[in-house]
Structure 1
Amino acid sequence: MELKDQIVLVSGASRGLGREIARAFSREGARVIVNYFNSAEQAESLVQELGDKAVAFRADVRDDGQVKNLFEQAKAHFGSPVTTIVNNALVSFKFDPVKNKDAFAIRWEDYLQQLEGAVKASLYTVQAGLDDMKEQKFGRIINIGTNLVQHPVVPYHDYTTSKAALLGFTRNMAADLGKYGITVNMVSGGLLKTTGASAATSDEVFELIKASTPLRRVTAPSEMADAVLFFASPWSRAVTGQNIMADGGLVMN
């Protein structure tokens, strides 16, 4: 299915990377559901920017009932079901190496919050879209990961562990859903310049990343968004269960 024919749900799309992913799909002609939880004003502003092929719906993607309602609203609005899911939402996390909890301070509750935001939310969005994807014999699921799983230069214990679990989720779903024409992949970025989550990162850290990266620059959210498009496009139709690093070559698989 061409990008222009897809109906794309982007969770956490009102800000940061999610905003750029929504813009990227809209640029290619797709219809876009801008999911948000707290940022209603920013979500509506984005919809105004993208035009009549975009709509904003509020839902806490950690709540099964709200997610099901979100998919029903989207289907009713566009007259067709969601074809493509981008699990991007990030729950209550800042990339702050100074305030980050170390091994002595981290608590299970911190892990649980991030696991629910990454894996639980992705499970709910995938299951909400499965029946329609199976019927259409087409589905694209793209999960947002991090290169910290392979290269934990800063030990963000709870965040990185949740993304490692999401990678396992991605590959198991890919193995299970391929027979229905559904692909499941992951795009993993490094620290992006700049999003709300990375705003607390110092210039010194960004400069260190820049100097360590083959491209000699820090990846922008719009660049990572383009990598997400690949997994939704016809060019990736034989690709599933994969994890692409969109970090300028900092981590090479």
Structure 2
Amino acid sequence: MGWLNQVGIDTERKPVYAFFHASFQEYFAATAIDDWDFFLPRHHKNKPIENKQYRIFTPQWKQTILLWFGRKDLPKAQKEAFIQALINFQDGCVKYKGKSFYGYRAYFLAAAAIAEFKDCEQADPIVKQIVDWELYNSLMREQAKVALQETERIKAIAALVQLLDTSQDQDTRRYAAESLGKIDKRYNSMYEFIWQCAQNLPYPEFYQAWHQPFLATRLLRSLKSILFMRIF
């Protein structure tokens, strides 16, 4: 079926095969693993468990983990337990603003996982936490920006729109607007944004939104209307 290609021969002159693309290997690996303990020892507390591997921190395993979360044949409770283990992970080392460094990495993986595990009960607080880190955690800001682009898109957009619609802090609005532009490329400049508003809102609503006291507020009121029309 074209999944495997011969890439050479071994020392015994037997053919050696490899998957045509790494995605095939990642997919089949995800379907073969039933217990998330393979990725993260379920009995981890705050120090490494001897003779156990922590594959959640190995980049080559990330896509397999995400595909695992996307499986329909696994019990929801098992996925919830894995998410809980990720967001509560402690490495037993130094902490920064209440979270250990490997704890941040595990949390960012959970944020990416809910894009595949869409009915996760922890999805909303996870997205909110990532948004908070982007805005108020200078050390983790760049990593949080990446995580926000990888997480469940609709929830990320909704969280940012809500923040822009309610915050009175100009720096908060600016960071949120920048993140929104990266998640939804349709709004990567103010003029493109205004043009989309004008195209999608009736003139009376556009006029009313435009004449709100603050520019960011009136733009975001229009954005909120557009997004929720398109999403729902």
Q: Same fold, TM exceeding 0.5? A: no
- Greater relative CO, 1 or 2 (CA 8 Å, sep 6+): 1
Q: From the two aligned structures, give the one with the greater helix fraction.
A: 2
TM-score (ref. length: structure 2): 0.29
Structure with bigger gyration radius = 2
